[in-house]
Amino acid sequence: MFNNSSDDDTPVDYNEEVKVVIVGESGVGKSNIINRYNGGQFNPNSVPNNSSFFMSKNLKFGEKIYRINLWDTAGQEKYRSLGRHFYKDAYIVCLVYDITSLQSFEDLKTKWYNDLKTYGEKYNVLAVVGSKSDNYEKEEVKEEEARKYAKSIGATYMLTSAKTGDNIDLLFDTLIRQYLGPDFVKKVQEMKQEKGEIQKVTRNTILEKKKKKKFC
């Protein structure tokens, strides 16, 4: 049974919509994260957003099809106030910082989280996302510190790279499962692990990959 309630009476191929909003300083890699999740290539020359865009993806969990609407917001200060109303009806929010920029982490803790607390009305799933994990050598924010902070605000922590694709699918998969509730978490995780669809990338796997490369 699909939801047939689109404005123009065209049948739509999902049962429920879920709004996800991604915020953080300009240049942390929000657009690349979304693009990568949508099956796109990493863009080394991406330009800053001058407005917010959304991309949709249908995912099947259990018996239902969910339309995930991912809102990519503009991080530049001049657009900050425009993005605020996107928090209002978002259920899932990702706060992104760049692991090579301490400033981006400080801004996440002050500007972006404060905006969310002020304007977010419905969110119940929150993530702190460290981006550009491929740039591990230039790390300015210790993973442990970011994890600790995430825990303190009740957020899930994830270290990602839009360049390599590490943990991008896992990030959204985890958040959507959290949104759907504990029964789904268990059921879907078991299913995906059985199929070998989920492989968690940790800091150690990144280092091992690099070591292997050196010896090749």
Ligand X SMILES: Nc1nc2c(ncn2[C@@H]2O[C@H](COP(=O)(O)OP(=O)(O)OP(=O)(O)O)[C@@H](O)[C@H]2O)c(=O)[nH]1
In the complex, the residues that contact ligand X under the rule CB under 6 A are 26-32, 43-44, 46, 48-49, 74-76, 131-132, 134-135, 161-163
Residue linked to tokens 């550009």: 132
* Per-residue buried b or exposed e for 64-80, using 16+ beta carbons within 10 Å of the residue's own CB: ebbbbebbbbbbeeebb
**Per-residue mark of binding to Mg ion, 36-75 (x: CB under 5 A):** -------------x--------------------------
Q: Which of 160, 147, 65, 74 is nearest to 115 (CA)?
A: 74
Q: Choose among Mg ion, ligand X, none what residue 147 binds, the Cβ cut-off being 5 to 8 Å by kind.
A: none
Q: How is residue 85 written in tokens?
A: 């109303």
> Taking CB positions, which residue lies at the least distance from ligand X?
75
DSSP 8-state secondary structure symbol assigned to residue 67: E
Residue 177 binds which of ligand X, Mg ion, none (CB < 5-8 A, kind-dependent): none
CB of 160 to ligand X, least distance (A): 7
Hey, what are 37's tokens? 């999740």
Cβ-based nearer residue to ligand X, 15 or 26? 26
Angle, alpha carbons 17-32-189 (nearest 5°): 50
In contact, 16 and 98? CB cutoff 8 Å: no
User: What residue type is 151 in one-letter code?
Assistant: K
Closer residue to ligand X in complex, CB, 167/174: 167
CB of 177 to ligand X, least distance (A): 23
Shortest gap between Cβ of 8 and ligand X (angstroms)?
Answer: 31
Which of 49, 178 has the CB closer to Mg ion?
A: 49
> What's the chain's Rg over C-alpha atoms?
17
- Where along the sequence are the contacts to Mg ion (CB under 5 A)? 31, 49
